[in-house]
């Protein structure tokens, strides 16, 4: 990791709501609180994992960070500059610094545009290079992303690539402008384990060679453990726990993080990964929506009087390790010993 520990990205109390449409008469409209007052800081040069199950708000956070959508409340800062109101040239400059690899590689490409034109497009729109120079830069980016010989991939169309190759192309396109921050949204969710490992190594290379900061979005604590310096665990738009990746995974303090670890597929034996047998409840109604702990409805440890009414503050559990639970305490977690290894990506 870069020696610099300054903050490159900060989310301050970010809230995002979506309205669902309802039926043809407009009945059944609902508001979804995709992100609820999220605050976090990402340090320059680190790989920061945003971990949570499906629907927890990870992609929403990514889209807000790259400026594809705006938060309803709160601020997003890159190198101290608020990016929420950016428009025109300022927004274009920002897009050069912050790029995203999307979750679904099929949606990230126009099927009628060649890899050469697709990867080279940001060079044109940002006015960086054209003609032969642009072609050379595209070939170099493809090679850098592990697609070699680059010439044999550059003139194909997206459907002529495997899923893994498509994700490599997506990373090449995201990195061609040498952004300082790469948001990688579940880049391996459609790949098998061995190809996932190659993509992880590519992301490690992106950070190592170019010094880029990576926000790695994943549902898998195992992937985050392999790749990330720090992780934040999110549940239905609420941050639950944040800290050094190894510490959060070996010594999770939040019952939700413990449940996520318990739910991770297991292969082989591995002494250092704990199991918790955490009790998850069938969903129960909240006393008052939006009040109290975001995990109250599922939590086996919750005390109704407190957890349904009082939102827990983040409290320090260890060096840089914070947890938002009324009942979490610092110290070693009460895990089962001799757990099994979580290698599922
Ligand atoms: N455009 C939208 N309109 C309405 N609701 C939306 C919209 N986008 C996201 N949501 C809702 O916001 C919540 C968070 O969605 P999001 O896509 O950020 O989750 P996610 O953590 O990325 O999930 P996954 O792991 O499945 O990709 C979900 O409940 C989702 O249904
Ligand atoms: Mg998503």
pLDDT score of 155: 95
pLDDT tens, residue by residue, 234-263: 999 999 999 999 999 989 999 999 998 887
Which pLDDT band, with edges at 50, 70 and 90, does 84 fall under?
very high
pLDDT score of 272: 56
Residue 336 DSSP label = B
Is the confidence at residue 198, as pLDDT, over 60? yes
pLDDT score of 333: 65
Strand partners, 32: 18
The sign of the CA dihedral 62, 67, 73, 74 is: positive
Check: CB of residue 190 under 8 Å from CB of residue 155.
Answer: no
pLDDT score of 341: 41
* 257 in contact with ligand 1, CB cutoff 6 A: no
In angstroms, what is the span from residue 331 Cα to ligand 1's centroid?
A: 35
More reliable by pLDDT, 89 or 75: 75
Among 1-10, 161-170, 191-200, where is mean pLDDT lowest?
Answer: 1-10
* H-helix segments, the chain: 58-65, 88-97, 115-125, 131-144, 151-154, 163-175, 193-210, 221-227, 245-250, 255-263, 304-307
Whole-structure pTM value: 0.91
CATH code of 7-21+30-250, in short, is 3.40.50.300
Which pLDDT band, with edges at 50, 70 and 90, does 274 fall under?
low
Taking the C-alpha atoms of residue 104 and residue 115, their distance in angstroms, rounded to an integer, is 16
Which pLDDT band, with edges at 50, 70 and 90, does 122 fall under?
very high
DSSP states along 95-137: HHHEEEE-S-TTTSS-TTS-HHHHHHHHHHHTTS--HHHHHHH
Q: Which of ligand 1's atoms lies nearest the C-alpha of 35?
A: 14
* 188 in contact with ligand 1, CB cutoff 6 A: no
What number is the average pLDDT over the span 291-301? Answer: 88
Token pair of 193 as six digits: 């384990």
Token pair of 182 as six digits: 């790469």
Number of other CB atoms surrounding residue 26 within 10 Å:
8
In angstroms, what is the span from residue 269 Cα to ligand 1's centroid?
A: 35
pLDDT score of 266: 61
pLDDT score of 164: 87
Q: What is the mean pLDDT of the chain?
A: 87
More reliable by pLDDT, 65 or 343: 65
Mutating to test ligand 1, I would choose from 16, 21, 28, 57 the residue with most ligand atoms within 8 A of its C-beta, which is: 57
Q: Which of ligand 1's atoms lies nearest the C-alpha of 52?
A: 21
Cβ-in-10-Å burial (0-12, 13-18, 19+) of 159 comes to: exposed
* 173 in contact with ligand 1, CB cutoff 6 A: no
Taking the C-alpha atoms of residue 7 and residue 56, their distance in angstroms, rounded to an integer, is 24
Beta strand spans in 22-83 (E): 30-43, 47-51, 73-78, 81-82
* 52 in contact with ligand 1, CB cutoff 6 A: yes
Query: For the chain, which residues make up each domain, given as ranges?
Result: 7-21+30-250, 251-345
Is the confidence at residue 327, as pLDDT, over 50? yes
Query: Whose C-alpha lies nearest to ligand 1, atom 28?
Result: 55
pLDDT score of 18: 94
Q: Which residues surround the ion ligand 2 when the cut-off is CB under 5 Å?
A: 59, 103
3-state SS assignment for residue 237: coil
Is the confidence at residue 340, as pLDDT, over 60? no
């Amino acid at each position: 990791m870069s020696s610099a520990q300054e903050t490159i990205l900060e989310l301050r109390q970010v809230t995002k709501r979506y309205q669902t449409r309802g039926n043809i008469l407009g009945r059944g409209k609902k508001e979804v609180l995709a992100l609820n007052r999220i605050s976090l800081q990402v340090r320059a040069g680190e790989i920061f994992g945003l971990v949570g199950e499906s629907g927890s708000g990870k992609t929403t956070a990514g889209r807000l960070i790259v400026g594809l959508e705006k938060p309803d409340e709160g601020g997003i800062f890159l190198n101290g500059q608020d990016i929420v109101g950016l428009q025109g040239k300022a927004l274009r400059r920002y897009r050069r610094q912050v790029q995203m690899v999307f979750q679904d590689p099929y949606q990230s490409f126009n099927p009628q545009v060649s890899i050469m034109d697709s990867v080279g497009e940001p060079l044109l729109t940002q006015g960086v290079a054209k003609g032969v120079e642009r072609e050379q830069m595209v070939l170099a980016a493809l090679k850098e992303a592990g697609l070699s010989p680059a010439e044999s991939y550059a003139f194909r169309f997206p459907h002529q690539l495997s899923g893994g190759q498509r994700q490599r192309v997506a990373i090449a396109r995201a990195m061609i402008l040498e952004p300082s921050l790469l948001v990688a949204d579940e880049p391996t969710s459609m790949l098998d384990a061995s190809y996932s490992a190659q993509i992880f190594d590519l992301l490690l290379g992106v950070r190592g060679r170019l010094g880029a900061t990576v926000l790695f979005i994943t549902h898998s604590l195992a992937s985050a453990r392999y790749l990330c310096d720090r992780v934040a665990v999110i549940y239905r738009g609420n941050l639950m726990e944040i800290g050094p990746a190894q510490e959060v995974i070996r010594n999770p303090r939040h019952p939700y993080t413990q449940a996520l670890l318990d739910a991770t597929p297991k292969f082989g034996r591995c002494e250092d990964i704990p199991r918790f047998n955490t009790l998850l409840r069938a969903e129960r109604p909240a006393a008052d929506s939006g009040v109290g702990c975001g995990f109250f409805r599922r939590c086996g440890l919750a005390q109704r009087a407190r957890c349904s009414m009082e939102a827990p503050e983040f409290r320090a559990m260890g060096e840089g390790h914070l947890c938002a639970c009324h009942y979490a305490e610092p110290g070693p977690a009460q895990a089962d010993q001799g757990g099994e290894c979580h290698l599922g990506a």
